[in-house]
Amino acid sequence: MEGWIIALIVIGVLLLVVLVWFIATMNNLRQLKVKVKEAESGIDVALTKRFDTLSKMVETVKGYTKHEAKTFENVVKWRQNMPDELTVKQKEEFMEKMNQIQSDINVVVENYPDLKAEKVFTNLQRGIADVEEHLQASRRMFNANVSRLNSRIVTFPTSIVAAKINMEKYPFFEAEPAKRQDVKMEF
């Protein structure tokens, strides 16, 4: 066989290998991105659940103090002015606002022991503790997936594929130092 034919076959095989690798890497990155998106929607669900439970709690404490209801109304207004789909940064902000309301409610509970004894309120507190756990789980799952995706994006040679398909590093759902502390639940 002529030398140039062999060279052509070798080049062809090499190109095919590169192409297969490129497609496999591209699919892998896209799958990771889908996982990140799924995890992000988990955060959305948990945030919405927390918002709903908090609104019920605010409704219960309304009889004891007007301040929390006012704060909550402000959060509702803030949310209404935001697009349906929040960015990660906006979600962090939303969580922080809810943390604030939660802390305020805890202060009210401290000042009104009758409230602590109310069955409805206790159930809501139990509910919010669970929602909180789900939110933490979603946040950790999101960050774990983001970490995996980001490290693939910056690692050579996957970084070449990532750049070709315009895939960029994803932001983490970070809690600032003040927010990192668990919201204290009083029972």
Single residue of 62, 70, 148, 164 touching another protein by CB under 8 A? 148
Give the residue from 18, 149, 4, 122 showing the smallest Cα distance to 61.
122
Binders of another protein among residues 17 to 76 (CB under 8 A) are 39, 42
3-state secondary structure of 118: coil
- Closest distance between another protein and the C-beta of residue 45, in Å? 9
Stretch in the footprint of another protein (CB under 8 A) among 14-22, 63-71, 91-99, 134-142 = 134-142
From 49-57, 74-82, 110-118, 142-150, give the range in contact with another protein by CB under 8 A: 142-150
**Closest listed residue to residue 50, CA positions, set 172, 120, 133, 107:** 133
Residue of 10, 144, 160, 165 interacting with another protein (CB under 8 A): 144
Q: Which stretch binds another protein (CB under 8 A): 18-26, 94-102, 110-118, 125-133?
A: 125-133
Could you tell me which of 141, 152, 168 has the C-alpha nearest to residue 38?
141
Count, residues near another protein per rule CB under 8 A = 19
DSSP assignment string, 58-104:
HHHHTTT-SHHHHHHHHHHHHHHTS-SS--HHHHHHHHHHHHHHHHH
By C-alpha distance, which of 160, 173, 153 is closest to 33? 153
Report the interface residues with another protein, using CB under 8 A: 39, 42, 123, 126, 129-130, 133-134, 136-138, 140-141, 143-144, 147-148, 185, 187
